[in-house]
């Protein structure tokens, strides 16, 4: 038995890592965790003002619902996804001191970062959903049960990408500069600010295979319209993400034993 293989995934440690990540941002604030809810709500107010009052943005197929709920349903999951990847990307290099001194399953670090980011934004998401309901949007609360697996799948997807990027980041530091514009590109090519019907026909076909577009579309259907629209592509996407996650974990572990040499 070599020690490299003995590195166990310590559950208690992982939980502590996640909690620490969440607490880190709020530790020295006066109001503490209140910001978890206050910040998303303030953002929601900003978007409501900018898009309804200034841009007067409209989505034809969601006239009744209004632009702001239409955006908000998609925006928070996306933010969780994007921020998780960007944060996790630097997590290995940021924890270099620990990695160089203690032998442990290093994948816990990017995974904890992704998980913590998702938890934080989900709390905000719930607050936003409640406020939207209070403002008159009818949220399909029952379908939240089906929305959760979709978000869980997004989490797995973010974990897979993060294992991949955070391992590369150790060797190729330029990734930290490349990744944010890439994520911005992904944001604008995913129908978040607009409906997929805005896309030219040719791109629409291609965009079908963007997992994020699929997630966003499902979340809107479920939470705003109460529709269930899982087809063969659901199976395909689950399969794709499962294989991708398995592959990136193997990819990560191929390099994790060598991180110390490069930190």
The three-class DSSP label of residue 263 is coil
Q: Are 157 and 81 in contact (CB under 8 A)?
A: yes
Q: Which of 4, 32, 149, 180 binds another protein (CB under 8 A)?
A: 4
Lookup: tokens for 223: 């939470």
Nearest distance from C-beta of residue 229 to another protein, angstroms: 40
Give the residue among 77, 116, 115 at the shortest CA–CA distance from 219.
Answer: 77
Return d(Cα 42, Cα 35) in angstroms, integer: 10
What's the closest the beta carbon of residue 12 comes to another protein, in angstroms?
4
Estimate the crossing angle of helix 67-89 against helix 211-220, to 10 degrees: 140
Cα 222 to Cα 225: distance, rounded to the nearest angstrom: 6
Q: What is the residue-wise DSSP string for 103-120? A: ---TTHHHHHHHHHHHHH
- Answer yes or no whether residue 260 interacts with another protein by CB under 8 A: yes
**Does 202 contact another protein by CB under 8 A?**
no
Binding mask 71-110 for another protein (x = CB under 8 A): --------------------------xxxxxxxx------
- Structure tokens of 231? 């087809």
CB of 155 to another protein, least distance (A): 22
Q: Which stretch binds another protein (CB under 8 A): 19-27, 53-61, 191-199, 212-220?
A: 19-27
Measured CA to CA, the distance from residue 29 to residue 33 in angstroms comes to 8
Q: How far is the CB of 21 from another protein (least distance, A)?
A: 10
Interface with another protein, residue 187, by CB under 8 A = no
Q: Which two tokens stand for residue 203?
A: 């791109």
Size of the site for another protein (CB under 8 A): 38
Nearest to 76 by CA among 192, 198, 222: 192
The residue within the footprint of another protein, chosen from 7, 47, 225, 249 (CB under 8 A), is: 7
The interface region with another protein, picked from 10-18, 135-143, 180-188, 229-237 by CB under 8 A, is 10-18
Q: How many residues does the chain have?
A: 263
Q: Of 65 and 109, which CB lies nearer to another protein in the complex structure?
A: 109
Q: Give CA separation, 90 vs 113, 155, 172, in Å.
A: 10, 18, 11
Please select the residue that binds another protein; options are 24, 29, 133, 184, rule is CB under 8 A.
24
Residue 227 CB, nearest approach to another protein (Å): 43
Question: What does the binding site for another protein look like in residue numbers (CB under 8 A)?
Answer: 1-4, 6-8, 10, 12-13, 15-17, 20, 23-24, 27-28, 97-104, 168, 171-174, 254-255, 257-258, 260-262
């Amino acid at each position: 038995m070599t020690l490299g293989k003995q590195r166990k995934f310590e559950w208690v440690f992982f939980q502590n890592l996640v909690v620490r990540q969440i607490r880190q941002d709020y530790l020295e604030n006066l109001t503490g965790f209140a910001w978890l809810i206050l910040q998303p709500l303030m953002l929601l107010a900003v978007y409501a003002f900018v898009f309804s009052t200034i841009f007067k943005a409209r989505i034809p197929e969601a006239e009744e619902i209004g632009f702001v709920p239409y955006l908000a349903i998609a925006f928070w999951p996306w933010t969780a996804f994007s921020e998780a990847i960007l944060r996790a990307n630097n997590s290995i290099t940021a924890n270099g001191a620990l990695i160089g001194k203690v032998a442990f399953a290093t994948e816990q670090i990017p995974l904890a970062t992704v998980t913590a980011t998702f938890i934080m934004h989900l709390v905000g998401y719930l607050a936003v959903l409640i406020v939207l309901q209070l403002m008159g949007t009818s949220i399909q609360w029952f379908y939240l049960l089906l929305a959760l697996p979709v978000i869980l799948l997004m989490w797995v997807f973010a974990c897979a990408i993060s294992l991949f990027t955070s391992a590369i980041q150790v060797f190729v530091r330029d990734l930290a500069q490349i990744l944010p514009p890439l994520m911005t590109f992904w944001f604008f090519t995913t129908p978040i600010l607009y409906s997929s019907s805005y896309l030219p026909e040719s791109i629409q076909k291609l965009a079908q295979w963007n997992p994020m577009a699929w997630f966003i579309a499902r979340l809107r259907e479920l939470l705003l319209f109460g529709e269930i629209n899982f087809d063969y592509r659901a199976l395909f996407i689950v399969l794709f993400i499962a294989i991708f996650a398995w592959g990136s974990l193997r990819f990560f572990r191929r390099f994790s034993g060598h991180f110390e040499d490069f930190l």
